[in-house]
Amino acid sequence: MPAKSISSGIVHQLPKDLRAVLSSDAAMLSAWEDITPIARNEWICWIESAVKQETRTKRIERARENLTSGKRRPCCWPGCPHR
């Protein structure tokens, strides 16, 4: 059975670790698909800007919490410099 397609951002592609979490959490995936491509790009860039793996893991968990509670963009971050 092929993997379900999950939307990426406008500049950044969906990383495997974030894809795995989205695939395992229906509420997070629903929120993810409901936000704009620019917002998805912001989340991906914010997660990928982490230097340490520990920080990246925490950001993915924070993204889960924020998206499922209705937040559409990462808080307190200047935004993706790549767009």
Q: Which two tokens stand for residue 71?
A: 């937040």
Tens digit of pLDDT for each residue in 4-57? 799 999 999 999 999 999 999 999 999 999 999 999 999 999 999 999 999 999
Domain annotation covers residue 75: no
Decide if 45 is inside a domain.
yes
With beta carbons less than 8 A apart as the criterion, state whether 43 and 63 touch.
Answer: yes
Q: Is residue 43 part of a domain?
A: yes
Average pLDDT over residues 57-75: 96
Total domains in the chain come to 1
Range(s) of the domain holding residue 28: 16-68
Pairwise CA distance, residues 57 & 38, whole Å = 22
* Cβ neighbours of residue 41 closer than 8 Å, sequence gap 6 or more: 8, 9, 10, 11, 12, 80, 82, 83
**What's residue 74's pLDDT?**
92
